[in-house]
Amino acid sequence: MAKKIPTRLYLSEDETPQYWYNIRADMAEKPDPILHPGTLQPASAADLEGVFCKEPVRQELDETTRLIKIPDGLQDFYRAYRPAPLIRAYFLEKELGTPAEIYYKHEGTNTSGSHKLNSAAAQAFYAQQEGLASLSTETGAGQWGSAMAMACAFYGLRLTVYMVKVSSEQKPYRKALIETYGAELIPSPSDTTEAGRKILAQDPSTGGSLGCAISEAIEKAVKTDKCRYVLGSVLNHVLLHQSIIGQEVKAAFDKYDIKPDIIIGCAGGGSNLGGLIAPFMGDKLNRASKTRIIAVEPASCPSFTRGQYAYDFGDTAKTTPLIRMYTLGNGFIPSANHAGGLRYHGMNPVLSKLYRDGFLEARAVVQTDVFDAAIRFAKAEGILPAPESSHAVKVAIDEALECKRSGEKKIILFGLTGTGYFDMTAYMAYNAKAMTDLIPTDTDLAKGFSSLPDIPQNRC
Ligand SMILES: *Cc1c(COP(=O)(O)O)cnc(C)c1O
């Protein structure tokens, strides 16, 4: 008889992965290069190093190295909160009455409450190695700012976080957490940068936006000695750092000879999904598996399912390099949705290419259904999921119920990217039945697409 799978699939310290896995090395067709917005030529390391740290830039442009060693000084920090629990959802399976096996990787056990710490720690580690004194970044929902504040405290770097003003008002505890770890928090737009002052002059009462906060953070990095800018999603080096998630799952699954049929992850900029699926996508690219991979996004911000595959800016101020990705247009403003971490107009270029080439499926879901699923999961498994993570929970439950109908005993894995303890306003809205589902019309989307850059690469 097959051995019983434990509720927690442990990895000991010497079984934990020593390498990140770079999906691009196994892609026969690579994603299109990042372009310099002025010359429209592929961006060079020199173009990017004025803004970002050197080693992450090297990783960003590396399409050939399959396995990249996780530096010892970073492994030390990872060991403080990793390996992240990989849990067999026995209680949820029972509650659903499904023959499917459900597993989830729980990235919310660290204080910042999400997977974002995996890349925050890596980026802070490299900044310290390069002799930098400080970093700057933006945060929308607050998870990335919290993760960076923790990482900078550990590696002894100063940090300035530009937090979208409405968000800093709506999520005071996120703001407090970031400040507790010693970072300077500036509600954006602010009068501390030219970009901020310009936006304030146009609209003094604005609540700010992620695009504006990005512009402020980049300006701060460029104008401050020994300071660089860090980003928490979308870029390839962030995806690479997050591959620790999938590498750990693969190591644990291999121990018990488990082969997932379906892998599900929520997708904002794509970093947790790209990290979770990395080694499994590698097997798929090498024709060694038929695992289905599903990206889940909010119906209010449907980059994969309704976006265009085009070159676009990463920010609304149109200052970043151009990235070919599924995008709703840098000018697209998603309606208020409680999954703040999924409100981004674009998607990581590697995942975009894989979706384009049919290696990845995508599904959009509405937030009331997402919260129904979140609460069903919370009651069965005891963990209150982040609204972002609950998108994956929703589709995992749907797939498990599909197995119940068909009688198939599939193996389902999903990423539980974080906990929802800082998102109680969202749960309060749900409990008060005050939550709405706002889906953009084609006219809304057309407005976003009209902000795409008018360059030759977008016309063919
Ligand atoms: C930021 C965030 C996400 C979405 O970001 P990705 O880069 O797409 O992973 C998902 N879940 C949580 C908890 C987050 O904080």
374 lines ligand 1 (CB under 6 A): no
Q: Which of helix, strand or coil describes residue 114?
A: strand
State whether the beta carbon of 145 lies less than 6 angstroms from ligand 1: no
CB-neighbour burial class of residue 267 (10 A; exposed 0-12, middle 13-18, buried 19+): buried
Cβ-proximal residues to 359 (8 Å cutoff; 6+ apart), any chain: 281, 284, 285, 293
CATH 3.30.460.80 fits 77-113+235-458, yes or no: no
Looking at residues 63-89, what average pLDDT do you find?
A: 97
Residue 212 has which token pair? 């504006």
The residues facing 411 across adjacent strands are 101
Q: How far is ligand 1, taken at its centre, from the CA of residue 251, in Å?
A: 23
| Every domain of the chain and the residues it spans | 77-113+235-458
Give distance in angstroms: CA of 277 to centre of ligand 1: 14
DSSP assignment of 255-279 equals: HHT---SEEEEE-SSSHHHHHHHHH
Mean pLDDT over each residue of the chain, to the nearest integer: 95
Confidence grade of residue 430 (pLDDT, cut at 50, 70, 90): very high
Categorize the per-residue pLDDT at 89 as very low, low, confident or very high, splitting at 50, 70 and 90: very high
Sheet containing strand 134-139, edge to edge, reads 184-188, 158-164, 134-139, 227-229
If you measure from the C-alpha of residue 144 to the centroid of ligand 1, how many angstroms do you get, rounded to a whole number? Answer: 9
Rounded mean pLDDT, 324-341: 87
State what percent of residues in the chain have pLDDT above 70.
99
pLDDT of 206 reads: 86
Mutate to test the pocket of ligand 1, among 106, 112, 143, 167 (most ligand atoms within 8 A of CB): 143
Report the b/e string of 67-84 with b at 16+ CB within 10 A: ebebeeebbebbeebbbb
Average pLDDT of span 317-325: 92
Given ligand 1 and candidates 107, 115, 167, 231, which is best to mutate, with the most ligand atoms within 8 Å of its CB?
115
Cα–Cα distances in angstroms (integers) from residue 256 to residues 5, 86, 91, 104, in the given order: 7, 12, 20, 15
For residue 288, pLDDT over 90 is answered with no
Task: Work out the average pLDDT over 13-19.
Answer: 95
Ligand 1: atom nearest CA of 274 is: 9
- What pTM was computed for the model? 0.97
Q: Is 320 in the pocket of ligand 1 (CB under 6 A)?
A: no
Residue type, position 388, single letter: E
pLDDT at 2 over 70: no
User: Is residue 1 over pLDDT 60?
Assistant: no
**Smallest CA separation from ligand 1 atom 5, residue:** 268
Q: H helices of 135-270, where?
A: 143-155, 165-170, 172-180, 194-202, 210-223, 236-256
Read off the pLDDT of residues 116-133 as tens digits, 9 standing for 90 and up.
999 999 999 999 999 999
Reading the block at residue 37, the tokens are 């917005």
Q: What is the mean pLDDT of residues 389-407?
A: 98
The residue whose CA has the least distance to atom 7 of ligand 1 is 271
- In angstroms, the Cα distances linking 104 to 274, 369, 399 are 15, 19, 14
89 CA distance to ligand 1 middle (Å) = 21
Average pLDDT on 424-430 reads 93
